[in-house]
Amino acid sequence: MSAPPVKPDPKSSPGSGLIGGKLRALRKSRGMTLQAVADATKLSVGHLSQLERDITSPSVKTLHDIGLALGVNIGWFFDANEAKDADSRYVVRSANRRRIHFADGIDDYRLNSRATETLGLLYSVFEPGASSGDRTYAHAGEEAGYVVSGQLEFWIDGEHLVVQAGDSFSFPSTSEHRYQNPGPDRTVIIWAMTPPSY
């Protein structure tokens, strides 16, 4: 899915992990009011307004639903502030990783460069208790991951699973799923998906 370029917002600057300015610019470029997005996503106008003003961060499920309403996937919110490395279009230096900060303590860092369009690679950090939300969701594609540290609890098509450091997982994204960090420690996962949507 393509979307128009977005002018940078001081709050939603590269590396901040905030998406409010990008979200507002995208909504306006689509000619949609906050009420229209609220109707499409079943979210309140007040909540959407808070997201656009970076007063709060979205859950993974919320940003997924907003993306569907606006015709983009979550990966688009990384692309809007992607910094270009001076030495190569194939490398993302650690200092130039793009980040999205989600509600409830999830931070996703994009690892792949702009040279790849059909694969997403993330460094995901889950604080204790962090989750994708209390509702499952599904979308096109496939996902896989490797647990670097901590543990993650999954619900995939009604099946309950727990993965720990050293474990890996994969599933079709068309399966209803959600996840959370049930442990007392931070969880780190290298997460891949194709296409780059979640």
pLDDT means per 10 residues, the chain with 198 residues, are 42 63 93 96 95 90 90 75 61 87 89 87 96 89 97 96 98 96 96 87
Alpha-carbon distances, residue 112 vs 68, 94, 98, 191 (angstroms): 23, 11, 10, 11
pTM: 0.78
pLDDT, residue 16, reads: 62
Chain center to CA of 157: 21
Give the burial class of 142: count Cβ atoms within 10 A of its Cβ; 0-12 exposed, 13-18 middle, 19 or more buried.
middle
pLDDT, residue 11, reads: 46
pLDDT, residue 84, reads: 53
Decide if 181 contacts 152 (C-beta within 8 A).
yes
Q: Which of 31, 64, 30, 35 is nearest to 48 (CA)?
A: 35
pLDDT, residue 138, reads: 92
Please name every residue paired with 108 in a beta bridge, in sequence order, or none if there are none.
100, 124
pLDDT, residue 88, reads: 76
Domains of the chain: 94-194 (2.60.120.10)
